[in-house]
């Protein structure tokens, strides 16, 4: 009968952990989207680069006011559901565990506890494995991975607490830990805190990771700009650019051919960038025999030529032979700037003027390095705001949960010896803070691999958000642990 009661207590606590954790995630995502949309509306002038013809993608972050209000109401309803679930769970557990005052039989069946811990590890590893399976939709593996990781974390926490000696609980005066209900309670608390810690740190990391997109655009395209028009206005604007290197080629275009000067291409070969792996780029030169081949080199060459993708053959000739071909001689100038980060808006203006002068140059403008960089930069700024907004919301939820738990722990603590009380308080808050943080760090380091499928790399300078999160978390712990006399929870 007692074993059946124990199973019921554990099942109720586990289900409550799933429900509360899931509702917190949903509420955090909705509130994060709402907050990100509000920030983008308020500071859209700062987000949008000052360049002509700029069109930010009408993404899901562009939420109208009515939808924002509806999202806030949904969050309030979810928060109410969390409170009701928590209170209902406490009531049910009190009725089920009527003999809570009786201490749990700790360190008995230690073999079973070890099996539970191994099972928890298997579930956590399975969750990470599910996240990295090939998928058709990004949301397919999230639910099974969430269930297995949370269940595994709960089992690990419960089995570890069960293996601790009763004298250890007495030492830090964590009296609830000596009861069966207390073990399930702290296992659930540790699981929720570790989940929120991981979500906060993960959102910070993802908000920072989107910086990899613009960097890859710069590294993945060799030439900063293509100047094909030789009008006076364009030439004057180009003269104002701080150019590190430029290559100019002469050619003529007929109905079926592009005629280029062989010596110009041979003496100063055009280069392109080949992606040899995740964030690994290799610069290569285009060989003359590759110009008409259906290869990366041939495609890269045609991308630089106006009308380059028309069904025309690229022919090589001497300067004298080019002069005999009917038609006007055209120019193709490939430029590399001293500082692309500084001059790309002005370069984009030049390419925009060039496109307005002739439809022939419109493709060069729309697919240029500067235009692509502008688009990705705008998207990354919006996604960065979204990531940081989610981190703020999840972090606020984490702090709220910690305050509630610490307040409950403080209420149970009564000492006449102030020095003993301070030492016990620090041990108790350290336990509540750092055991879940350890699980959270592992969740982030392994869980971020899921986003390798949508980001250039999910670990772009990942040390920065992790260090920021750990420092903030440690400061919060110091405030709670060493400001005990003034802190009011």
Do the domain assignments include residue 39?
Answer: yes
Kindly state the average pLDDT of the residues 72-76. 65
282: which strand partners?
274
Q: Are residues 167 and 287 in the same domain?
A: no
Distance between the two ends of the chain, CA-based, in angstroms?
39
319 Cβ partners below 8 Å, 6+ apart? Answer: 250, 261, 263
> Which of the pair, 278 or 365, is modelled with greater confidence?
365
354 Cβ partners below 8 Å, 6+ apart? Answer: 227, 228, 229, 234, 361, 364, 365
- Name the band, by pLDDT with cuts 50, 70 and 90, for residue 486: very low
Q: Given this model, what pLDDT does residue 172 score?
A: 52
Q: Given this model, what pLDDT does residue 51 score?
A: 43
Choose one of 359, 374, 389: the last residue of a domain: 374
Q: Given this model, what pLDDT does residue 147 score?
A: 80
Choose one of 312, 345, 374: the last residue of a domain: 374
Q: How far apart are CA 470 and CA 300, in angstroms?
A: 45
Backbone angles phi, psi at 317, to 5 degrees: -155, 175
Q: Are residues 172 and 138 in the same domain?
A: yes
Say how many C-beta atoms besides its own lie within 10 A of residue 415's C-beta: 13
Q: Given this model, what pLDDT does residue 424 score?
A: 59
Q: Given this model, what pLDDT does residue 312 score?
A: 84
* Cα-only R_g, the chain: 31
User: Taking 70 as the threshold, does the pLDDT of residue 171 lie above it?
Assistant: no
Q: Given this model, what pLDDT does residue 427 score?
A: 65
Say how many C-beta atoms besides its own lie within 10 A of residue 315's C-beta: 19
Q: Which of 248, 267, 215, 485 is nearest to 377 (CA)?
A: 215
Kindly state the average pLDDT of the residues 426-450. 75
Kindly state the average pLDDT of the residues 218-230. 86
Q: Are residues 175 and 28 in the same domain?
A: yes
Burial 379-404 (b: 16+ CB within 10 A, else e): bbbbbbbbbbbbbbbbbebbbebbee
Kindly state the average pLDDT of the residues 298-327. 85
Q: Are residues 252 and 362 in the same domain?
A: yes
Q: Given this model, what pLDDT does residue 104 score?
A: 47
Kindly state the average pLDDT of the residues 180-199. 76
CB 410 within 8 A of CB 87: no
Segment holding 272, helix H or strand E: strand 271-277
Do the domain assignments include residue 196?
Answer: yes
- Name the band, by pLDDT with cuts 50, 70 and 90, for residue 446: confident
Long-range (24+ apart) CB contacts under 8 A made by 164-171 are: 164/106, 165/106, 165/107, 166/103, 166/106, 166/107, 171/427
pLDDT, one tens digit per residue, over 101-136 is 444 444 456 777 788 888 888 888 888 888 777 665
Q: Are residues 207 and 264 in the same domain?
A: no
Kindly state the average pLDDT of the residues 251-266. 88
Sheet containing 243-253: give its strands across: 225-227, 330-337, 243-253, 257-261, 313-317
Q: What residue has token string 């030049």? A: 350
Q: What residue has token string 């089920």? A: 96
Q: How far apart are CA 271 and CA 293, in angstroms?
A: 16
CA atoms within 13 A on the CB side of 304: 28
Range of the domain at 413: 2-216+378-482
Kindly state the average pLDDT of the residues 309-317. 84
Kindly state the average pLDDT of the residues 405-423. 56
Q: How far apart are CA 132 and CA 425, in angstroms?
A: 41
Choose one of 333, 359, 374: the last residue of a domain: 374
Q: Are residues 385 and 363 in the same domain?
A: no
Q: Which of 231-240, 413-422, 425-434 has the highest mean pLDDT?
A: 231-240
Do the domain assignments include residue 146?
Answer: yes
Q: How far apart are CA 128 and CA 452, in angstroms?
A: 13
pLDDT, one tens digit per residue, over 370-383 is 888 888 887 777 77
Q: Are residues 360 and 405 in the same domain?
A: no
Do the domain assignments include residue 256?
Answer: yes
- Name the band, by pLDDT with cuts 50, 70 and 90, for residue 2: very low
Mean pLDDT estimate for the chain: 73
Q: Are residues 253 and 210 in the same domain?
A: no
Kindly state the average pLDDT of the residues 53-76. 54
Q: Which of 133, 128, 259, 211 is nearest to 377 (CA)?
A: 211
Name the pTM for this structure.
0.69
Q: How far apart are CA 437 and CA 190, in angstroms?
A: 9
Do the domain assignments include residue 488?
Answer: no
Q: Are residues 415 and 448 in the same domain?
A: yes
User: Taking 50 as the threshold, does the pLDDT of residue 388 lie above it?
Assistant: yes
CB 153 within 8 A of CB 124: yes
> Which of the pair, 152 or 175, is modelled with greater confidence?
152
Q: How far apart are CA 131 and CA 88, in angstroms?
A: 32
User: Taking 70 as the threshold, does the pLDDT of residue 36 lie above it?
Assistant: no
Q: Given this model, what pLDDT does residue 282 score?
A: 86
User: Taking 70 as the threshold, does the pLDDT of residue 72 lie above it?
Assistant: no
Do the domain assignments include residue 90?
Answer: yes
Q: Are residues 91 and 231 in the same domain?
A: no
Share of the chain above pLDDT 70, in %: 63
> Which of the pair, 176 or 36, is modelled with greater confidence?
36
Kindly state the average pLDDT of the residues 44-58. 45
User: Taking 50 as the threshold, does the pLDDT of residue 336 lie above it?
Assistant: yes
Number of folded domains that form the chain? 2
Q: Are residues 6 and 150 in the same domain?
A: yes
Q: How far apart are CA 395 and CA 418, in angstroms?
A: 32
> Which of the pair, 85 or 222, is modelled with greater confidence?
222
Q: What residue has token string 């419960």? A: 158
Q: Are residues 146 and 174 in the same domain?
A: yes
Q: Given this model, what pLDDT does residue 62 score?
A: 55
Q: What residue has token string 């562009």? A: 62
**Crossing angle of helices 418-447 and 142-163, rounded to 10°:** 150
């Amino acid at each position: 009968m007692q074993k059946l009661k124990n199973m019921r207590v554990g099942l109720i606590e586990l289900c409550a952990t799933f429900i509360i954790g899931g509702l917190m995630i949903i509420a955090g995502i909705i509130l994060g989207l709402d907050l990100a949309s509000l920030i983008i509306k308020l500071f859209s002038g700062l987000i949008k680069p000052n360049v002509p013809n700029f069109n930010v993608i009408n993404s899901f972050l562009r939420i109208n006011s009515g939808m924002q209000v509806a999202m806030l109401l949904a969050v309030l309803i979810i928060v109410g559901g969390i409170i009701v679930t928590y209170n209902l769970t406490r009531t049910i557990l009190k009725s089920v565990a009527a003999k809570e005052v009786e201490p749990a039989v700790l360190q008995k069946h230690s073999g079973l506890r070890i099996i539970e811990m191994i099972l928890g590890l298997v579930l956590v590893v399975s969750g990470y494995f599910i996240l990295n399976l090939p998928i058709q939709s990004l949301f397919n593996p999230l639910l099974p991975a969430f269930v297995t990781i949370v269940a595994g974390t709960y089992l690990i926490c419960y089995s570890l607490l069960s293996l601790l000696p009763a004298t250890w609980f007495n030492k830090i005066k964590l009296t609830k830990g000596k009861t069966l209900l207390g073990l399930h309670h702290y296992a659930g608390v540790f699981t929720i805190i570790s989940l929120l810690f991981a979500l906060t740190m993960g959102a910070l990391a993802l908000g920072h990771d989107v910086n990899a997109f613009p960097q890859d655009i710069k590294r993945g395209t060799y030439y900063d700009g293509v100047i094909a028009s030789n009008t006076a206005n364009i030439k004057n604007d180009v003269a104002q650019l701080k150019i590190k290197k430029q290559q100019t080629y002469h050619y003529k275009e007929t109905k079926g051919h592009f005629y280029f000067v062989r010596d110009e291409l041979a003496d100063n070969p055009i280069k392109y960038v080949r992606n040899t792996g995740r964030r690994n780029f290799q610069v290569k030169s285009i060989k003359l025999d590759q110009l008409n081949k259906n290869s990366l080199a041939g495609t890269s060459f045609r991308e630089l030529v106006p009308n380059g993708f028309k069904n025309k053959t690229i022919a090589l000739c001497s300067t004298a032979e080019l002069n005999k071909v009917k038609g006007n001689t055209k120019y193709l100038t490939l430029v590399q700037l001293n500082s692309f980060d500084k001059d790309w808006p002005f370069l984009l203006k030049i390419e925009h003027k060039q496109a307005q002068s002739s439809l022939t140059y419109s493709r060069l403008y729309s697919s240029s390095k500067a235009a692509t960089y502008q688009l990705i930069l705008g998207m990354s700024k919006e996604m960065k705001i979204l990531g940081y907004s989610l981190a703020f919301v999840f972090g606020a939820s984490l702090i709220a949960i910690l305050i509630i738990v610490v307040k409950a722990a403080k209420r149970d603590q009564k000492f006449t010896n102030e020095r003993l009380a301070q030492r016990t308080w620090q041990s108790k808050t350290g336990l509540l803070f750092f055991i879940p943080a350890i699980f959270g760090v592992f969740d982030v380091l392994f869980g971020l691999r899921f986003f390798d499928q949508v980001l250039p790399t999910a670990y772009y300078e990942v040390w920065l958000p992790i260090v920021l999160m750990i420092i903030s978390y440690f400061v919060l712990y110091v405030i709670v642990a060493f400001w005990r006399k003034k802190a009011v929870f």
